[in-house]
Amino acid sequence: MLSELKRTERTIIRNHYSEQEHPLFLACDDVFYSRSSHLNAVDIEAENIFVGVAHLLDELFKNKGVTQRVVDRLWTELFKDIRGIKMEATEHDKQQVTHTIFAIVRKLMCHHWNSQYCYKLYDMLGVTISREMRDSDKKELEQFSESLFEHSEGLDDWINCAYDGNLSGEIETLLKGKKNLKPKKPSGRKSIDIDSIEDTFNIPLNISKRMERIRGFYNSMDKVYVAADQKVFVDTLSGTKSKSKITWIGDIKELHYMINKLVGNGWIEVPDSYTKWQITCARFNIRVKGNNGKPDEIKDFQLSQFSNINKPLKDHPKLDKIINILNPRIDIQQAMDDYLGYMALQGEHDEINDTNDALAHGLNTDIHI
């Protein structure tokens, strides 16, 4: 996947893709710049990273049966490729280069419209990265992630509207001297009108006390993070077709955090035809506070607001307590007690009273708070 490039080959790749302002090449060039200066014994540049990303991306797309074991093996193959380029390459060098390639490909998966890539492959790559990079410099990883995040918009457009599954083949053709490459037919993001979506999130049917959990979740969110009729809220989480929207009254980063947590843990499911952010935009809007005496406004979300979240939340103790109401591994009674206990410690008495009152009148009798 990763091979040594001659200086002339690097120049050809750089000139061609820089002139095109190719989003993926620009991202590789930017994020690897600071890392390359700290490599100890291996001569690898942004062009090598770009080629490595192309090969890994193509490999994942052509392999329809990718498993976690396959992804782990691809990490190992990259390590071996780096050793082939420079036998004396240190573990640090191999780790930095391999992580760069994996992280860029994972970033592309995050933006892909197809759930096979934006959920399954994204998560598999994340598992491998987390395990292999557990002892790495956290500050350096954060700086790298922030730098990569700045390329979100361009990468989103490229992976969905231009990538054809054979970028590595295109590069090989270029290096063989065929400069006037024919434009490829784009893979194309499905053209979806968000306003036409009637599908909703769905809490799996096999989760114990499913409806009680949904109602408890609603009563803990109501007037704190959402303003919505209970039926609309329940429909939105139970797979019922709907055209209604829940008004989010918290910060967009909190909604982003909540959806990622719920989907990532498998506590809510997303219809196969859509991404989690398409369903979020279809089923949620947001209350924006008016300035200078102007009234609040209810505005629809745009997909770009979620794909371009700046510094997403890493934790949120209060939301975590509410989210755990849908955790099938925790008894709902215990989850509610944990939430109310947390609120008491925070001194949010009015909110506790509202929640207790809602629970008393809105939940089934087998829940005792």
Q: Sign of torsion, CA 274 277 279 282?
A: negative
CA distances from 138 to 133, 135, 145, 295 (A): 9, 8, 10, 43
* pTM for the full predicted model: 0.56
Residue spans of the domains in the chain: they are: 7-175, 195-362
Structure tokens at 234: 């329940």
pLDDT digits (tens, 9 = 90+) for 100-155: 999 999 999 988 877 778 778 988 999 999 999 887 888 888 888 888 988 887 88
Encode the chain (369 residues) as per-residue pLDDT tens digits. 777 889 999 999 999 999 989 999 999 999 998 888 878 767 789 999 999 999 999 999 988 789 999 999 999 999 998 888 877 788 888 899 999 999 999 999 988 877 778 778 988 999 999 999 887 888 888 888 888 988 887 888 788 878 888 999 999 999 988 655 554 544 444 557 889 999 999 998 888 999 999 999 999 999 999 999 999 999 999 999 999 999 999 999 999 999 988 988 889 999 887 888 889 999 999 999 888 778 889 999 988 788 667 778 888 999 999 999 999 999 999 999 999 898 888 875 455 455 555 444 444 333 322
Q: Cα(337)–Cα(271) distance, rounded to whole angstroms?
A: 32
| CA dihedral for 217, 223, 229, 235, sign (positive or negative) | negative
Residue whose entry in the numeric block shows the structure tokens 């291996």: 42
